[in-house]
Amino acid sequence: MRRRQALHLIFKWKEISCSGIQARRKSCLNCDYLRTVNIGDGVEQIDAGAFSNDTSLTHVSIGSGVKKLGSGVFAGNKALTDFKVSDANPYLFMEDGILYGKEHETLYFLLPSSQKEALNLTNDVKTIMAYAFWGNDSLKKVQLGSGLYEVPSYAFSNCSNAEYRSQGI
């Protein structure tokens, strides 16, 4: 059995590196000076809200072992512009500013800094995580695909301009 390891904090909270199995819920919630998060290959899960509302966070890298994220992990981080997922990660990938799970089935989030005004989700998207679009002021229209069964609470919360249309929910 693998031993859980604590987060390793360096550079007085300007950078955080995690090499354990899990980044715990609200690990660094509201860290005003955090700029970089590096999630190592040994981390399998990042809990809900772990890095939400970190106003200075600009860079995140996700290792090859991360299988899933809780809801709102990076919600409210409007400075976050550089988000990379390891090419060796078979579970997650970034495409056009959106973090997806394998084969587009789960939409984790749209980068909070995204300037997109419209999105057309494919029919492959079956799940949208809560807080996926949280606080995005640029997003105005979202066309939901027919593969989606429900829109979770808070998926579009704090999006002052967003409206969505469904193809079969």
What integer pLDDT is reported at residue 131 of this predicted model?
94
pTM: 0.82
What integer pLDDT is reported at residue 4 of this predicted model?
41
Q: What is the pLDDT along the chain (169 residues), one digit of tens a residue?
A: 344 433 433 333 444 555 444 454 445 655 667 788 888 898 888 888 888 888 888 999 999 999 989 999 999 888 999 999 999 999 999 999 999 999 999 999 999 888 999 999 999 999 999 999 988 888 888 899 999 988 888 888 888 777 665 555 4
What integer pLDDT is reported at residue 28 of this predicted model?
61
SS3 11: helix
What integer pLDDT is reported at residue 158 of this predicted model?
82
Which single residue is written with the structure tokens 């799970």? 101
Question: Which residues neighbour 161 within 8 Å (Cβ) at sequence distance 6 or greater?
Answer: 137, 138, 139, 140
